[in-house]
Amino acid sequence: MSHRIVFLDRETLDARLRAPGFPHEYREYDVTAPGEIVERLKDADIAVVNKVPMRAETLRQLPKLKLIAVAATGTDIVDKAAAKEQGITVVNIRNYAFNTVPEHVVGLIFALRRAIVPYANSTRRGDWNRSRQFCYFDYPIRDIAGSTLGIVGYGALGKSIAKRGEALGMKVLAYDVFPQDGLVDLDTILRESDVITLHAPLTPETRNMIGRAELARMKRDAILINTARGGLVDEAALAEALQSGTIGGAGFDVLTTEPPVEGNVLLDLDLPNLIVTPHVAWASKEAMQILADQVVDNIEAFVAGQPVNVVE
């Protein structure tokens, strides 16, 4: 039996995708608009997607579809209840970003705590040329060693970041909805952390989990980092907090709507204590190749009748 595999947004994965080891037909599209999904998948039994939404009304029009292989960890693009009802298996990618996401988080911590970006920009503007002294102190610089790192979401990524934080001399606090030894509550994270980094999935329960009330409980010089999912933080509340000095800074790799074609309140700000990157924390060359290999591993396991990394 030959399987028909269609990758709807190949442009999202900058890595080599090996051919599966079973009879198959393969087609890929760089980009797929919502209105093109059904036509492109009408004869497919395996769909590979990264960010293309697979909603209930779409799935109902795809009776041949048996597997959605998400080329990412997050699966909020898929209506999983509808997929289950239709007998469609959903699989995702796991444990590929142990280095790339933690390194991005650490990079943001250094950039924000040590004001690297505003000092580099001010030097480029000529501020150093005009300085009366050999240096100037326009932006506060704070040490990382001795500070407290609060991790919200203490799964594999959270633990990997904790190890790096400890290696840098940080005190680590962690919170998770799943009980584990040594965890603290969210309020402790908010009150005691100098850096808070989010690693929770986006669910109805976690949407806007950091809003005005939570930001107000943070230290005035604390920084908030989100490399997990847009929507975990109320972006309008964060913009207000940054402008008013409620918190010390923020580093975001994700926004509620991506790409932000209609703009975003955070992108409207020109602040020295805000860094926004375009959802690339996961995207080291090494990590993308691991991801690509696991996409094919997942498909091969499903075809062999032993599916892995199944998302319920």
The verdict on residue 293 lying in a domain is yes
Predicted pLDDT at 202:
87
Note whether 110 and 198 are same-domain residues. Answer: yes
Catalytic residue flag (residue 192): no
For residues 246 and 222, is the Cβ–Cβ distance under 8 A?
no
Note whether 89 and 131 are same-domain residues. Answer: no
Predicted pLDDT at 224:
98
Q: Report the amino acid identity of residue 62.
A: L
Q: Report the amino acid identity of residue 21.
A: G
The verdict on residue 310 lying in a domain is no
Note whether 86 and 30 are same-domain residues. Answer: yes
Note whether 117 and 219 are same-domain residues. Answer: yes
The verdict on residue 281 lying in a domain is no
Predicted pLDDT at 5:
98
The end-to-end CA distance of the chain, in Å, is 27
Predicted pLDDT at 76:
87
Note whether 245 and 172 are same-domain residues. Answer: yes
Owning domain of residue 126: 100-276
CATH number at residue 51: 3.40.50.720
Note whether 186 and 62 are same-domain residues. Answer: no
Domain count for the chain: 2
The verdict on residue 308 lying in a domain is no
Note whether 49 and 188 are same-domain residues. Answer: no
Note whether 105 and 45 are same-domain residues. Answer: no
Instruction: State the catalytic residue, choosing from 3, 113, 199, 229.
Output: 229
What's the pLDDT tens digit per position in 205-228? 999 999 999 999 999 999 999 999
Predicted pLDDT at 73:
87
pLDDT in tens, the chain (312 residues): 899 999 999 999 999 999 999 999 999 999 999 999 999 999 999 999 999 999 999 999 999 999 999 999 889 899 999 999 999 999 999 989 889 999 999 999 999 999 999 999 999 999 999 999 999 999 999 999 999 999 999 999 999 999 999 999 999 999 999 999 999 999 999 999 999 999 998 889 999 999 999 999 999 999 999 999 999 999 999 999 999 999 999 999 999 999 999 999 999 999 999 999 999 999 999 999 999 999 999 999 999 999 999 998
The verdict on residue 312 lying in a domain is no
Catalytic residue flag (residue 258): yes
Predicted pLDDT at 74:
84
For residues 230 and 239, is the Cβ–Cβ distance under 8 A?
no
Predicted pLDDT at 1:
83
Instruction: State the catalytic residue, choosing from 36, 39, 258, 286.
Output: 258
Note whether 85 and 226 are same-domain residues. Answer: no
The verdict on residue 309 lying in a domain is no
Note whether 163 and 298 are same-domain residues. Answer: no
The verdict on residue 311 lying in a domain is no
Predicted pLDDT at 175:
98
The verdict on residue 225 lying in a domain is yes
What's the half-sphere exposure (Cβ side, CA atoms, 13 Å) at 163?
Answer: 9
Single out the residue of 32, 297, 292, 309 nearest to residue 44, CA to CA. Answer: 32
pTM value is: 0.86
Predicted pLDDT at 116:
98
SS3 for the chain is CCEEEEECCHHHCCCCCCCCCCCEEEEECCCCCHHHHHHHHCCCCEEEECCCCECHHHHCCCCCCCEEEECCCCCCCECHHHHHHCCCEEECCCCCCCCHHHHHHHHHHHHHHCCHHHHHHHHHHCCCCCCCCCCCCCCCCCCCCCCEEEEECCCHHHHHHHHHHHHCCCEEEEECCCCCCCCCCHHHHHHHCCEEEECCCCCCCCCCCECHHHHHHCCCCCEEEECCCCCCECHHHHHHHHHHCCCCEEEECCCCCCCCCCCCCCCCCCCCCEEECCCCCCCCHHHHHHHHHHHHHHHHHHHCCCCCCECC
Note whether 198 and 262 are same-domain residues. Answer: yes
Indicate if the alpha-carbon torsion angle 192, 248, 229, 120 is positive or negative. negative
Note whether 111 and 179 are same-domain residues. Answer: yes
Instruction: State the catalytic residue, choosing from 166, 279, 300, 312.
Output: 279
